[in-house]
Structure 1
Amino acid sequence: MTNLDPRSMIATAGLMSAFMVIVLLFMRRNYPPSIRGIGAWAVAPMLWLVSSSFFSTRHVMHEWLSVLLANLLLLLGSTTYYMGTRSFFGHPTTWRPWSRVIAGTMLMLVVFTYWLPHYALRLGLFTAVMSALYAAQLRFMLRHGGRSFPARLVQAVLALHLAVLATRLVTVITGQAGTDLMAPSLFQTFYIGAYTLTVLMLPIGAVLLATDRVRTELEHLATHDSLTQALNRRALLQRCEEELERARRYGDGPAIMMLDLDNFKAVNDTRGHQHGDAVLAYFADRVRQALRRPDHLGRYGGEEFMVLLPRTDAEAARRVAQRIHAALSTGHPLDCQVSIGLTGWKGPDDTLDAMLSRADAALYRAKELGRNQTVEA
């Protein structure tokens, strides 16, 4: 293992970075713009690629290229990856504090390269700064990354590389870090091998995170109405069938509400369809706020909506209907009135078609009685 050439390993890291740049740039061009951070993720391995090229010229090119610029690009690449991760998860980028860290680090590297040349101090300083950066990324991922496989992969890579960096710091403190990056040794091989693996696995993690987000968005588009973000009719009826199947096994059935906005056609005719769309979106949002966590709101068609209330008796369903009426009478410019037809599960022989028919009949009865009320069937 100690016979491995550090230059060859660094060149391998550069080739891996080049490959991931191509992959991420392709994704940046073809993935939806709603998926943020891919651009920064593509820039990071690009910086790592150039950094690896300069590291490979150690003792061939001038130190300001093979030491200072190489370390600067490595640090910039890792920071850019972190900023891409923050952007991907919808958090503001924090370049200002890290730019100060980068500037201070480079100033000290200049000192330890030219004025007070000391390889171990230079190595220890840079390793400590990289450790702080990876620790910040790991902390962010643990707090905001979730539990998906791509997030866990990135967390594992960051944690393992932090362990490598900690080991490197120990070798610096104990005087076993060597005297040069290109000096073959067990510790150098271990560190450069870990670096090579990291610059490959972090972009792979980014690719998997973005791909998983695309899959999630496509699933959302397939099951939700684009205007109101309520479930579409097919997805809602599927949830209803699943809930009825569960009710037949355990005995506590759901309630169903059919909701229809009163005089909505007049809103479209007098205010325009754009205003009507705003009313529908506002209506769906207010209804969601009145529902409980397990309840499901779906757009049944046009201005008609449906609510599935799992494991809900008549009394509890009436309270939900009252909250919906109250939520739509707050004095907001987009406030509207709604008629509601409500029905509950009648037992194991009850079917979804029968429940929909009863709820629909109750809805029309609410319209006949003057609208803006709930009728139970």
Structure 2
Amino acid sequence: MSAISCLLMAIVLFGSSKVYPRSIEGLKHWGWGALGFGVANLLFSLRGLVPDWLSIIVANMIGVASFIVWWRGMRLLRGLALSSMRLWYMALAAVLLFLAYFTLVQPNIVPRRFLISGIGFAFYSGMAWLVWRRGQRLQGDYVFISLMVFGCLFTLIRVVATMANPASAATLLTPSSSQTAYVIAYNIMSLMNCIGFFLLATNKLQSELQQMADHDSLTGAMTRRSLMDKLAIEVAIAQRKSQTIALIAMDLDYFKQINDTLGHDGGDRVLCHFSAVVFKNKRPQDLFSRMGGEEFVLVLPDTDLHGAQRLAQRLHAALNTAHNDGIPAYTSSFGVGTWSGTPVAAVNSQFPLDTIEDWFKRVDDAVYRAKAAGRNRIELVTEPSISV
């Protein structure tokens, strides 16, 4: 039954690797690993019906190789580099010699069980640690880590049971309650490991789709919708803590001429360069959004007018520095204003004055004043918008 389950999961994983984006790596590795464990489980079930070298040595070697393939697949999913296979080949050769000696020369299941259980424990603990360190703390991560912890306990209990009663480990098929529990747990783990990895891959796909929905594909800046969603949270925080939020609106100067002269590829390079300058100078908590075309905004939580003005000046200076990377010279006009979170306001409120929409409009008007005054300059909204 376990062999059939693993083979079915292998089909699912191989099929998913065909339809998931290329950025979701590791599915093929886990498909091959599931296939390997399916074959290994089949050979284990034939113990006594086929030669021992096949049901013991080959079956265990396939299982160990499947662990290695799964480990490499997980590293690919987490975007980590793969180590050379040379050390893995050497480890496999050592395992092969060990199994061959205690199967053909000095038949003894106890050292074999210790070795395979140790390898299993190293795999489960290593995978749990990898996902914990590199995970996104999503539900799928916790499910997978729980499975790995169960695997660690499972292998430890098996080793302890063998040490406590070596006679019970005379053969794999010796009837006993511990052996029955092992077979059941092994069958469950073989299937659940694959399901756990599939959850991790699905979580990563969901995260990438969310990233695509929330960010502009060209510049990496947030979309307008995503900005407004996050701004609602910042507004609530500002209201609760009586903080000030600053807004810098930016509009690239003569951008249509850049497109007409250099083509859209040239315009795209300018947009990307501008975004890179903003990302380099902003704080991690600042919200940078492309509102459309060449219009951008930068929301600065817990920042007063002078702090926002200083950042706008840094951005202005950076854009007016000569570029040596093939980017044509360009400038931007800036509008800067603040909003105070006292006492009550909402992003979609219908107040005639001092709403978030009014705040955005005032800062936008400042940009137009900068344009009218000759472009490539910074204009301030002299009085902050205050919620009423």
Distance in 2 (alpha carbons) for counterparts of 1:73 and 1:155: 24
Give CA-to-partner distance per residue, 1:10-63, whole Å, 9 cap, x none.
xx2212212312322232122122111111122111111111111111111122
Contact 2:144 2:200 (8 Å CA) reproduced: no
Q: Residue 345 of structure 1: SS of its match in structure 2? A: strand
Distance in 2 (alpha carbons) for counterparts of 1:190 and 1:159: 17
Distance in 2 (alpha carbons) for counterparts of 1:189 and 1:79: 27
Distance in 2 (alpha carbons) for counterparts of 1:337 and 1:286: 12
Q: Residue 36 of structure 1: SS of its match in structure 2? A: coil
Whether 1:200 aligns to 2:204 is: no
| 135, 140, 143: which one aligns with 2:125 | 135
Contact 1:120 1:177 (8 Å CA) reproduced: no
* Residue ranges of structure 1 left out of the alignment (5+ in a row): 1-11
Q: TM-score, normalised by structure 2?
A: 0.88
* Residue ranges of structure 2 left out of the alignment (5+ in a row): 345-352, 382-388
Contact 1:290 1:320 (8 Å CA) reproduced: yes
Mean Cα deviation higher: 200-209 or 112-121:
112-121
Whether 1:358 aligns to 2:362 is: yes
How big is the shift at 1:337? 2.5
| 85, 95, 100: which one aligns with 1:110 | 100
- Paired residues in the alignment total 366
Contact 2:6 2:190 (8 Å CA) reproduced: yes
1:91 to 1:167, Cα distance in 2 relative to 1, 3 A: same
Contact 1:105 1:129 (8 Å CA) reproduced: no
Q: TM-score, normalised by structure 1?
A: 0.90
1:241 to 1:183, Cα distance in 2 relative to 1, 3 A: closer
Distance in 2 (alpha carbons) for counterparts of 1:176 and 1:142: 38
Whether 1:302 aligns to 2:293 is: yes
Whether 1:68 aligns to 2:72 is: no
Q: Which residue of 2 aligns with 1:276?
A: 267
1:336 to 1:108, Cα distance in 2 relative to 1, 3 A: farther
Alignment of 1:224-373 (within 5 A): 224-328=215-319, 329=321, 331-333=323-325, 334=327, 336-345=330-339, 349-373=353-377
Alignment of 1:75-154 (within 5 A): 75-94=64-83, 95-154=85-144
Whether 1:32 aligns to 2:28 is: no
1:242 to 1:118, Cα distance in 2 relative to 1, 3 A: closer
Q: Residue 186 of structure 2: SS of its match in structure 1? A: helix
Mean Cα deviation higher: 193-202 or 165-174:
165-174
Distance in 2 (alpha carbons) for counterparts of 1:251 and 1:142: 37
Distance in 1 (alpha carbons) for counterparts of 2:31 and 2:247: 48
CA RMSD of aligned residues (A): 2.1
Distance in 2 (alpha carbons) for counterparts of 1:21 and 1:304: 48
Contact 2:250 2:297 (8 Å CA) reproduced: yes
Q: Which residue of 2 aligns with 1:217?
A: 208
Distance in 2 (alpha carbons) for counterparts of 1:371 and 1:177: 86
Distance in 2 (alpha carbons) for counterparts of 1:330 and 1:138: 49
Whether 1:171 aligns to 2:144 is: no
Contact 1:44 1:78 (8 Å CA) reproduced: yes
- Structure 1 letter corresponding to 2:370: A
Distance in 2 (alpha carbons) for counterparts of 1:69 and 1:342: 71
Distance in 2 (alpha carbons) for counterparts of 1:145 and 1:176: 42
Alignment of 1:14-25 (within 5 A): 14-25=3-14
Contact 2:24 2:77 (8 Å CA) reproduced: yes
Contact 1:119 1:180 (8 Å CA) reproduced: yes
Mean Cα deviation higher: 330-339 or 109-118:
330-339
Q: Residue 60 of structure 1: SS of its match in structure 2? A: coil
